[in-house]
Structure 1
Amino acid sequence: MSTILVTGGTGTLGRPVCERLRADGHEVRVLSRHSPPYAVDLRKGGPVLDRAVDGVDAVVHCSNIRRGDKEAARLLIEAVRRAGVPHLLYISIIGVDRVPLGYFRTKYAVERMIQGSGTPWTLLRATQFHDLVVQLFQVLAKPPVMPLPRDVRAQPVEVTEVAARLSELAAGPPAGRVEDMAGPEIRTFPELAHAYLRATGGRRRLLEMPLPGRVYAGLRRGDLLAPERAVGRVTFEEYLARRYDTP
Structure 2
Amino acid sequence: MRVLVTGASGRLGRAVLPRLAEEGVTVRAMSRHPRHDDRAEWVAADLATGEGLAEAVTGVDAVLHLASAPQRGTHEVDVLGTRRLVVAAGHAGVRHLVYVSIVGIDRVSFGYYRHKLAAEEVVKAGPVPWSILRATQFPEFLEELLDRSSRLGPVVGDRAVLAQPVDPVEVAARLAAMLTAGPSYAIEEYGGPQVLRFDEAVRAWRAARHSRRPLLPVRIPGRVGRALRAGGLTTTATPTGARTWADHLADTYGGTGRK
| Class of the TM-score when normalised by the shorter of the 2 chains | over 0.9
Contact 1:94 1:224 in 2 (8 A): yes
Give the drift of 1:200.
2.1
Residue 211 (1) aligns with residue 220 (2): yes
Equivalent position SS for 1:179: strand
With normalisation by structure 1, the TM-score equals 0.94
Contact 1:196 1:240 in 2 (8 A): yes
1:77-96 aligned within 5 A: 77-96=86-105
1:32-47 aligned within 5 A: 32-36=31-35, 37-46=42-51
Give the drift of 1:34.
2.0
- Cross-structure match for 2:122: 113
Give the drift of 1:243.
2.1
Give deviations 1:112-147, integer Å, cap 9, x for gaps: 110010210001111111111011011112222211
Contact 2:130 2:185 in 1 (8 A): yes
Q: CA 1:166/1:52 → structure 2, altered by over 3 Å: closer, same or farther?
A: same
Distance in 2 (alpha carbons) for counterparts of 1:191 and 1:230: 23
One-letter code of the match for 2:195?
A: I
One-letter code of the match for 1:4?
A: V
Residue 63 (1) aligns with residue 82 (2): no
Give the drift of 1:78.
1.3
Percent identity over the alignment is: 40
Distance in 1 (alpha carbons) for counterparts of 2:80 and 2:69: 10
Distance in 2 (alpha carbons) for counterparts of 1:172 and 1:231: 18
Give deviations 1:10-47, integer Å, cap 9, x for gaps: 1110111111001111110110112344112211112x
Q: CA 1:10/1:219 → structure 2, altered by over 3 Å: closer, same or farther?
A: same
One-letter code of the match for 1:99?
A: V
Give the drift of 1:228.
4.2
Equivalent position SS for 2:157: strand
Distance in 2 (alpha carbons) for counterparts of 1:53 and 1:200: 45
Give the drift of 1:166.
0.4
Distance in 1 (alpha carbons) for counterparts of 2:188 and 2:83: 25
- Cross-structure match for 1:236: 245
Contact 2:164 2:196 in 1 (8 A): yes
Distance in 1 (alpha carbons) for counterparts of 2:165 and 2:213: 22
Distance in 1 (alpha carbons) for counterparts of 2:139 and 2:249: 8
Q: Which runs of 5+ in 2 are unaligned?
A: 36-41
- Cross-structure match for 2:23: 24
Equivalent position SS for 1:227: coil
Give the drift of 1:168.
1.3
Deviant stretches of 4+, over 4 Å: none
Distance in 1 (alpha carbons) for counterparts of 2:6 and 2:57: 10
Give the drift of 1:227.
2.9
Distance in 1 (alpha carbons) for counterparts of 2:86 and 2:109: 25
Q: Which runs of 5+ in 1 are unaligned?
A: none
Contact 1:185 1:230 in 2 (8 A): no
Residue 245 (1) aligns with residue 250 (2): no
One-letter code of the match for 1:56?
A: V
Distance in 2 (alpha carbons) for counterparts of 1:53 and 1:19: 20
- Cross-structure match for 2:7: 8
Contact 1:153 1:188 in 2 (8 A): yes
Calculate the aligned-residue CA RMSD, in Å. Answer: 1.4
